[in-house]
Amino acid sequence: MNAIMYPVSMAMRQTPLTCSGHTRPVVDLAFSGITPYGYFLISACKDGKPMLRQGDTGDWIGTFLGHKGAVWGATLNKEATKAATAAADFTAKVWDAVTGDEVLTLAHKHIVKSVNFTQDSNFLLTGGNDKVLRIYDLIKPEADPQEIAGHTSAIKKALWCNNDQQILSAADDKTIRLWDKNTQEAVHTLSFDASVTSMEYIPDGEILVITYGRTIAFYNAHSLDLIKTVDAPASIHSASLHPEKDFFVAGGDDFKLYKYDYTTKEEMESYKGHFGPIHTVRFSPDGELYASGSEDGTLRLWQTAVGKTYGLWKCVLPEELSSENSEVLYCPPAEIKA
């Protein structure tokens, strides 16, 4: 057997895969962990209908029906057996992610923006415009949630961290606070001059990725010490760090996706494709692709190693493109619309 190595990523142009179906802007997305059935992706949309997709292909699996307003946040548990959504109808909902059935509706006093499961899927953290963090025990859902107050403006994102013993929250009061779940006290606070637009927590390595203005900033998730910052050419709405911490991707106002080397902070690539600002971007759990959600109502999947065979992307050696023996392959024109 011959093995011929071609430097494909240098010769090939990125072909993003467009996932259509939403009818309004996509504002949040999340991946599950890697399960025996692959990994999954959930998207939150202003049309009120969050969707579940197969993570490596973007194939639609189902739509969670029930919310009566824009869905601002969506998440999956590690095993992709449960989903949670946060909506403008003042509720957070928990869903069975296999059947698509609504399992629980948690009434709030205002728009809910963020939902996050603990590792064991037993607790759900919510945050939103009423400025209060809430922890729901999913084993005893009728019980009142634990409440943590302190933020002086709407909460944008709330995440479990440090083995689910602490909580990180970002709010419109331009602070990020680290709370101890048991004492309910703020252990650390970070203040900014601008509103934080996104937050991602990487448990392996305890890194916090934050975006504000044109800046992508990396912090130690325990001490909230600054590791480094990188400035992009345009206002950034979301960023994600690769699991191996060699790259990160960011997107925002100029519709483009930027890829940076995490170590050198150099911009490696930028990709056009979306027809509107990018609101959310996340790496898949295996790091092979990243997904972006945009004001244009689409999700796009992008390869980390351009040209590699993975999911729906097929590595084609130069001879195969003109050969009569090649399988039927779809060679895309400049723009693909699904």
Which residue in the set 44, 45, 51, 239 belongs to the binding site for other proteins (CB under 8 A)? 51
Residue 270 sits in the site that holds other proteins (CB under 8 A): no
Strands (E), 15-132: 17-19, 26-31, 40-45, 51-54, 60-63, 71-76, 82-87, 91-96, 102-107, 112-117, 123-128
> Contact with other proteins (CB under 8 A): which of 6, 68, 225, 272?
68
Between the CA of residue 256 and those of 31, 42, 68, 272, what are the distances in Å? 21, 22, 31, 5
- Please state, in angstroms and rounded to a whole number, the distance separating the CA atoms of residues 147 and 181: 10
Residue selected from 26, 30, 62, 104 as contacting other proteins according to rule CB under 8 A? 62
CB nearer other proteins, residue 194 or residue 312: 312
Q: How far apart are CA 271 and CA 257, in angstroms?
A: 5
Span of 149-157, 180-188, 237-245, 324-332 interacting with other proteins by CB under 8 A:
324-332
Exposed e or buried b per residue across 198-214, where buried means at least 16 C-beta atoms within 10 angstroms of its C-beta: bbbbbeeeebbbbbbbb
Nearer CB in complex with other proteins: 222/314 = 314
* Residue 317 binds other proteins (CB under 8 A): no
Contact flag: residue 213 with other proteins (CB under 8 A): no
Q: Which is nearer to other proteins, 100 or 203 (CB)?
A: 100
* Burial class for 79, CB neighbours closer than 10 Å (0-12, 13-18, 19+): middle
- Separation between Cα atoms, residue 162 and residue 206, nearest integer Å: 8
d(CA 128, CA 114): 6
Q: With binding defined as CB under 8 A, does residue 42 bind other proteins?
A: no
How far apart are alpha carbons 130 and 149 in whole angstroms? 9
Site membership for other proteins, residue 12 (CB under 8 A): yes
Per-residue binding string, other proteins, 292-311, x by CB under 8 A, is ---------x-x--xx----
Question: x/- string (CB under 8 A) for other proteins, residues 82-101?
Answer: ----------------xxx-
Task: Round the CA-based radius of gyration of the chain to a whole number and report it.
Answer: 20
60 binds other proteins (CB under 8 A): yes
Among 24, 33, 34, 57, binds other proteins (CB under 8 A): 57
| Residue selected from 46, 53, 134, 151 as contacting other proteins according to rule CB under 8 A | 53
Write down the least CB distance from residue 83 to other proteins, Å. 11
Residue from 6, 59, 109, 110 binding other proteins (CB under 8 A): 59
Of 171, 102, 94, residue with least CA distance to 133 = 171
What residues between 245 and 264 interact with other proteins by CB under 8 A? none
- Answer for which of 25, 50, 58, 277 binds other proteins (CB under 8 A) is 58
Torsions phi, psi of 296, nearest 5? -75, 0
Cα torsion angle, 315, 320, 325, 328, sign: positive
Nearest to 251 by CA among 197, 306, 309: 197
Q: Binders of other proteins among 181-210, rule CB under 8 A?
A: none
Q: Which of 33, 34, 63, 285 binds other proteins (CB under 8 A)?
A: 63
Give whichever of 21 and 252 is closer to other proteins, judged by the CB atom: 21
Closer CB to other proteins, 194 or 336, in the complex: 336
Residues lying near other proteins in the complex (CB under 8 A) are found at: 11-15, 17-21, 37, 51-53, 57-66, 68, 81, 98-100, 301, 303, 306-307, 312-316, 318, 321, 329-332, 334, 336, 338
